[in-house]
Amino acid sequence: MHAGERGPSRARVDNEARTAEHLERMARRRAALRGELAGILPPTGEFIWEVGCGHGHFLTTYARAHPDALCLGIDIIRERIERAERKKDRAGLSNLHFLLAEARLFLGELPPAAKILAVFILFPDPWPKKRHHKHRLMQPEFLDAVAERAGQGTRIYFRTDHEPYFLQAETVLSTHPAWHLADETWPCVVETVFQQRAARHRSLVAVRR
């Protein structure tokens, strides 16, 4: 290095190291998720998906009532997945699986021919502060990604106790080119822990065009 030249700052070096560490961690996470999905889904597998499965109460009940349906639940909190797995084991359900995963990451690592038959989204985080609305799951980009892995007639079942979030979800689904709202009843009535705590809630169903 010539006199007067300055090397990279310590902050820059630290940022680059943290970025590289994050990318490596994400690569490992994607590879692990691909391996888990390969062991669960056949190449052309069709499945029922619950995003934010919590302790697995709803999907365990659904899987028991629909033994021919392959059911996958995901959540981002490990303790919830561990409790859901124990619930599944006690029920002895071979058609039910729970995975630690974020929704968009899950969609990105699905086998190419895998198809979603239905999506259940029950009481997701409403991110009530306006500056946090971008973190809400029900966004056009998420609906685009689901539509790519869904066949005609696939349903999205959405339920929340947060009225502003319900209205946003209703708007984004009613204006999305791949989905239309339908006046249908839910295929499985289960009062989850979140639902028991809610003073009231609202639900909707959207169908893949």
Dist. CA 118–CA 102, nearest whole Å: 17
Contact between residue 38 and residue 72 where contact means Cβ atoms under 8 Å apart: no
Angstrom CA distances, 125 to 65, 162, 184, stand at 27, 9, 24
Classified as helix, coil or strand, 9 is coil
DSSP 69: S
- Buried b / exposed e along 16-44 (16+ C-beta atoms within 10 A): eeeeeeeeeeeeeeeeebeebbeeebeee
- CA 43 remoteness from chain centre: 20
Task: Determine whether 92 is exposed, middle or buried from the number of CB atoms within 10 Å of its CB (0-12, 13-18, 19+).
Answer: exposed
Q: Is 89 a catalytic residue?
A: no
Which residues does residue 47 pair with via DSSP β-bridges, in sequence order?
116
Catalytic residue among 68, 125, 161, 183: 125
List the catalytic residues. Answer: 125
